[in-house]
Amino acid sequence: MQAGIAVGNLASAIGITTEDAALVADLKVGSEDAFAILIAQYHQPLYSLIARSLNDPVDAADITQEVFIKVFRSIRGFNGESSLRTWLYRIALHEASNQRRWWSRHKKQEITIDSPCESEEDGSTFSIASTLADSGDSPYDYAAQAEVRERVEMALRQLPEAFRNVVILREIEGFAYEEIAEILNINLGTVKSRLTRGRSALRALLLAARTEEVNGSASSSVMRTSKGAVTQ
């Protein structure tokens, strides 16, 4: 099954499909219907990708609009060497990257790619597997899962851009290595290395968040206990 998906992804990475070719031909002549189809098909996944890629997801709608306008302006230059999806994701990530640069200049300094990530060799015996695992479907579990998702989203946002893009494209969007290489215009080896380092960094961030959370709750319980002792 996974192999089948991988082969499909690889095929789409190699070239444009027949359906895409017909759509692209219509887009090139400026058909409004074709653009309506394109928007219906891609606005949600592109928005999601951009929202995750940006530091501030509030800007995601505006960036998505800029992406589609860019597509409208440059569709005549699309030569079909890559799939339409790959091409769209490349534009989306490029626009998101521009926005991030603007954001980092004006709002906040990003974590650089070379900044040392919290190493897994920190001697901690803490495991995140137990806290990230799907434990059930009760309302409590549902709330816990929502909390886990929030924690993962937060950690993802703290990841350096180069790692974050590769991790999102691979783990969330399900692209093959070859497609990621094409979208980000990097070679296959770099994709694998960034994915390895991105996963490690994300794991370290999740561990750190979890440790912080446990320490926070422990100190608050100590405070509650000491407060109780004082009252007595």
Residues engaged in binding other proteins (CB under 8 A): 2, 30, 32, 35-36, 39-40, 43-45, 47-48, 51-52, 57, 60-61, 64-65, 68-69, 72-73, 120-121, 127-129, 132-134, 145, 148-149, 152-153, 156, 167, 170-172, 177, 192, 195-196, 199, 202-203, 206-207
Minimum CB separation from other proteins for residue 104, in Å? 21
In sequence order, the 6+-apart residues with CB closer than 8 A to the CB of 70 are: 91, 95
What does the radius of gyration of the chain's CA atoms come to, in whole angstroms?
22
Minimum CB separation from other proteins for residue 38, in Å? 9
Q: Beta-carbon neighbour count of residue 75 at 10 Å?
A: 19
| Nearer Cβ to other proteins (16/164) | 164
Distance CA 212, CA 214 (A): 6
Numbers of helices and strands, H then E, in the chain: 10, 0
Minimum CB separation from other proteins for residue 50, in Å? 8
| Nearer Cβ to other proteins (81/213) | 213
Name the packing angle between helices 84-106 and 2-14 (round to 10°): 80
| Nearer Cβ to other proteins (40/230) | 40
What are the structure tokens assigned to 17, written together? 């499909």
| Nearer Cβ to other proteins (116/228) | 116
| Cβ–Cβ under 8 Å, residues 103 and 187 | no
Nearest to 92 by CA among 109, 76, 69: 69
Minimum CB separation from other proteins for residue 55, in Å? 14
Minimum CB separation from other proteins for residue 80, in Å? 21
Minimum CB separation from other proteins for residue 228, in Å? 36
| Nearer Cβ to other proteins (172/218) | 172
| Nearer Cβ to other proteins (1/18) | 1
Q: Beta-carbon neighbour count of residue 135 at 10 Å?
A: 13
Strand, coil or helix: what is 174?
Answer: coil
